[in-house]
């Protein structure tokens, strides 16, 4: 549902009401502002709603320190612009080359960024050797490529563009002719199944352009996604490239995102750029941002570059930073739209994590921000050391801005009994947690359950990970609001 009031503000109002009701006046020490203040960077503003704001980054420009610092200071996500494509990663058959992509991934992981992989299969930017293949030989080369690349990055990629641009433009709504299509109409689902086997935790997306509204092409893709969902083909998300201009018709942009979300997939804006200048350009950037924020399954936005200087369509000056890395009017439009909040946290909620056995809450002792601090349960009071955000990457974070920390196991440990701690976010599977319908919260790396040690229920009881056993000290409610 679209709400006019940002979720953070609603949450704070609820917290204040709760605190007023149950705490003595002397205990009313709610921090002022940090969780509801407008964030000052794109990434921080998006993160407050559980989303990411990323940029396509090109390895060839990593020697430009202003480019790197603008990306790292402003964004919390990345897509390698060309470095993960087939020509870059498999220049000769079954010989793989990951150097440039790994450089970008490593920089991004060092900052806990959300990484989109782009792209496993596309009719363009194929290596020369592929042009000599067809039929079953091409099919097996294609699936080997998917398997090898997705395996190389297993556990590091938030979402893969498994297949890019497989639909034709125009009014037909059908597939594009390509060498891949000529291996058989089932090539897309075969690719998705191979990707799922290689990296079960990555979200698997179909990605395309000219899909920025309800039209014949987007409807063709919609029908494919509906069919995949009906038949159990593994697909998790749809990417909308959104190469736009000031004069783009935005009338059905949001409703188009929503109809895909209603199929049970996430949606992402994957290659946003808007040709133009001034307020016309800024308005379109703002509309795209507002649309994503209004769709709870819209998990993030990526602009196709950082600066007009290095854009693939530099003549259109289509990005948020000009050629000198100055913020444009577009930047303010986007930041304001991000800060005005959205319709729900796509990751699955913000708020308290209440233990079923004690009805006490997961709590950082003493409101510490020190990495390695073991978590405890404590009376629920709703202060910031009990406010957990499930991010679109399945992290559980506490605090905001530069204080943000991730729920982790001590030193990334995977054995039963390892302390549950806060740590600096690093994007690793030891910091990803699945909330299960049984109420358990399982660590993606170890499969162990978040557990109140010794099934204790008193204030100050410590929290660990332990073999899942179905007991109530492993059941948690939230974060839900
Ligand atoms: O790096 C070489 C350089 O050594 C060489 O001298 C030069 C000569 O032209 O080419 C350079 O490579 C270029 C590469 O970008 C890196 O700049 C390629 O020619 C050029 O074709 C390539 O263009 C990329 C394009 O995809 C290829 O189709 C763009 O950077 C990239 O932004 C663009 O991205 C695509 C998405 O993947 C899919 N959606 C559309 C989007 C825009 O076209």
Annotated catalytic residue: which of 81, 90, 189, 271?
Answer: 271
Do the beta carbons of residue 324 and residue 341 sit within 8 Å? no
Please confirm, yes or no, whether 90 is among the known catalytic residues.
Answer: no
CATH 2.80.10.50 domain residues, the chain: 347-477
- Residue 427: how many CB atoms within 10 A of its CB? 23
Annotated catalytic residue: which of 81, 165, 189, 395?
Answer: 165
Strands 388-390 and 350-351: antiparallel
Give the Å distance between the CA of 265 and the centre of ligand 1. Answer: 29
Residue 480 pLDDT: 55
Question: Which residue owns the Cα nearest ligand 1 atom 13?
Answer: 82
Residue 342 pLDDT: 66
Q: Quick one: tokens of 476?
A: 């948690």
Question: Which residue owns the Cα nearest ligand 1 atom 15?
Answer: 82
Give the Å distance between the CA of 311 and the centre of ligand 1. Answer: 10
Residue 54 pLDDT: 98
Please confirm, yes or no, whether 271 is among the known catalytic residues.
Answer: yes
- Give the C-alpha separation, 142 to 86, whole Å: 9
Residue 440 pLDDT: 85
Residue 476 pLDDT: 84
Measured over the CA atoms of residue 15, residue 21, residue 22 and residue 28, the dihedral's sign is positive
Sequential pLDDT tens for the chain (481 residues): 222 222 333 333 333 333 333 332 222 222 223 344 789 999 999 998 889 999 999 999 999 999 999 999 999 999 999 999 999 999 999 999 999 999 999 999 999 999 999 999 999 999 999 999 999 999 999 999 999 999 999 999 999 999 999 999 999 999 999 999 999 999 999 999 999 999 999 999 999 999 999 999 999 999 999 999 999 999 999 999 999 999 999 999 999 999 999 999 999 999 999 999 999 999 999 999 999 999 999 999 999 999 999 999 999 999 999 999 999 999 999 999 999 976 556 666 677 888 887 778 999 999 999 999 999 999 888 889 998 988 877 899 998 878 889 999 999 999 999 999 999 999 899 999 987 766 789 999 999 999 999 999 899 999 999 999 988 889 888 775 3
Q: Which atom of ligand 1 is nearest to the CA of 209?
A: 39
Q: Which residue has the tokens 């092409």?
A: 217
Do the beta carbons of residue 225 and residue 265 sit within 8 Å? yes
Give the Å distance between the CA of 233 and the centre of ligand 1. Answer: 31
Q: What are the two backbone dihedrals, phi and then psi, of residue 405, each rounded to the nearest 5 degrees?
A: -130, 155
Question: Which residue owns the Cα nearest ligand 1 atom 22?
Answer: 82
User: Which of 63, 82, 314 has the most ligand 1 atoms within 8 A of CB, as the residue to mutate?
Assistant: 82
Question: Which residue owns the Cα nearest ligand 1 atom 34?
Answer: 81
SS3 string, the chain, reads CCCCCCHHHHHHHHHHHHHHHHCCHHHCCCCCCCCCCCCCCHHHHHHCCCCEEEEEECHHHCCCHHHHHHHHHHCCEEEECCCCCHHHHCCECCECCCHHHHHHHHHHHCCCCEEEEEEEEECCCCCHHHHHCCHHHHHHHHHHHHHHHHHHCCCCCCEEEEEECCECCCCCCCECCCCCHHHCCCHHHHHHHHHHHHCCCCEEEEEECCCCCCCHHHHHHHHHHHHHHHHCCCCCEEEECCEEECCCCCCCHHHHHHHHHCCCCEEEEEEEEEECCHHHHHHHHHHHHHHHHHCCCEEEEEECCCEHHHCCCHHHCCCCECCCCCECHHHHHHHHHHHCCCCCCCCCCEECCEECCCCCEEECHHHCCCCCCECEEECCCCCHHHCEEECCCCCEEECCHHHCEEEEEHHHCCCCCCEEEEECCCCCHHHCEEECCCCCEEECCCCCEEEEHHHCCCCCCEEEEECCCCCHHHCEECCCC
Indicate the pTM of the whole model: 0.74
Question: Which residue owns the Cα nearest ligand 1 atom 2?
Answer: 60
Residue 349 pLDDT: 65
Homologous superfamily of the 42-339 domain (CATH) = Glycosidases (3.20.20.80)
Paired with 307 in beta bridges are: 321
Give the Å distance between the CA of 360 and the centre of ligand 1. Answer: 54
CA distance readout (Å), 478 to 1, 55, 300, 350, 448? 19, 31, 22, 8, 18
User: Which of 303, 312, 319 has the most ligand 1 atoms within 8 A of CB, as the residue to mutate?
Assistant: 312
Do the beta carbons of residue 312 and residue 304 sit within 8 Å? yes
Give the Å distance between the CA of 82 and the centre of ligand 1. Answer: 7
CATH 3.20.20.80 domain residues, the chain: 42-339
Q: Which fold has domain 347-477?
A: Trefoil (Acidic Fibroblast Growth Factor, subunit A) (2.80.10)
Q: Which atom of ligand 1 is nearest to the CA of 312?
A: 32
Do the beta carbons of residue 468 and residue 474 sit within 8 Å? yes
Give the Å distance between the CA of 190 and the centre of ligand 1. Answer: 27
Question: Which residue owns the Cα nearest ligand 1 atom 27?
Answer: 125
Kindly list the protein residues whose Cβ atom lies closer than 6 A to any atom of ligand 1. 81-82, 124-125, 164, 209, 241, 271, 312
Answer left, alpha or beta for residue 62, where phi above 0 means left and psi between -120 and 50 means alpha: alpha
């Amino acid at each position: 549902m679209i709400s006019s009031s940002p979720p953070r503000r609603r949450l704070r109002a609820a917290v204040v009401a709760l605190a007023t009701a149950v705490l003595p006046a002397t205990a009313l020490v709610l921090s002022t502002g940090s969780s509801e203040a407008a964030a000052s960077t794109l990434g921080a503003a998006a993160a407050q709603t559980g989303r990411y704001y990323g940029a396509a980054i090109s390895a060839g420009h990593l020697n430009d320190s202003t480019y790197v610092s603008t990306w790292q200071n402003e964004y919390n996500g990345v897509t390698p612009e060309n470095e993960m494509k087939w020509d870059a990663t498999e220049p000769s058959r079954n010989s793989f080359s990951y150097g440039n992509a790994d450089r970008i991934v490593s920089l991004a992981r060092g900052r806990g960024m959300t990484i989109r992989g782009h792209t496993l299969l596309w009719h363009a930017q194929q290596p020369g050797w592929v042009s000599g293949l067809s039929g079953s030989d091409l099919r097996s080369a294609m699936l080997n490529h998917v398997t090898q690349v997705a395996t190389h990055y297993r556990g590091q990629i938030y979402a893969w563009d498994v297949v890019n641009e497989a639909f034709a433009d125009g009014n037909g709504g059908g597939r594009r002719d390509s060498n891949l299509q000529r291996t058989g109409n089932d090539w897309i689902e075969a690719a998705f199944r191979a990707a799922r086997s290689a990296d079960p935790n990555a979200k698997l997306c179909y990605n395309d352009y000219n899909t920025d509204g309800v039209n014949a092409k987007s409807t063709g893709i919609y029908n494919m996604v509906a069919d995949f969902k009906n038949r159990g083909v593994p697909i998790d998300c749809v990417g909308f490239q959104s190469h736009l201009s000031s004069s783009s018709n935005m009338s059905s942009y949001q409703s188009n995102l929503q109809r895909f979300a209603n199929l049970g997939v996430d949606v992402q804006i994957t290659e946003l750029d808007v040709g133009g200048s001034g307020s016309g350009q800024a308005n379109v950037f703002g509309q795209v941002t507002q649309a994503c924020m209004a769709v709870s399954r819209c998990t993030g936005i990526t602009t196709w570059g950082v600066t007009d200087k290095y854009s693939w369509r530099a003549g259109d000056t289509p990005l948020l930073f000009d050629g000198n890395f100055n913020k444009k009017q577009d930047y303010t439009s986007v930041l304001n739209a991000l800060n005005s909040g959205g319709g729900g946290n796509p990751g699955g909620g913000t708020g308290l994590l209440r233990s079923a056995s004690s009805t006490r809450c997961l709590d950082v002792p003493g409101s510490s921000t020190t990495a390695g601090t073991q978590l405890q349960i404590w009376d629920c009071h709703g202060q910031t050391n009990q406010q957990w955000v499930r991010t679109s990457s399945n992290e559980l974070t506490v605090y905001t801005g530069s204080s943000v920390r991730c729920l982790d196991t001590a030193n990334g440990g995977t054995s039963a009994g390892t302390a549950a701690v806060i740590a600096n976010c690093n994007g690793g599977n030891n910091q990803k947690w699945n909330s299960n319908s049984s109420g358990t919260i399982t660590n993606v790396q170890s499969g162990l359950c978040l557990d109140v040690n010794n099934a204790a229920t008193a204030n100050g009881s410590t929290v660990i990970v332990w073999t899942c056993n179905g007991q109530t000290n492993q059941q948690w409610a939230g974060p839900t609001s």
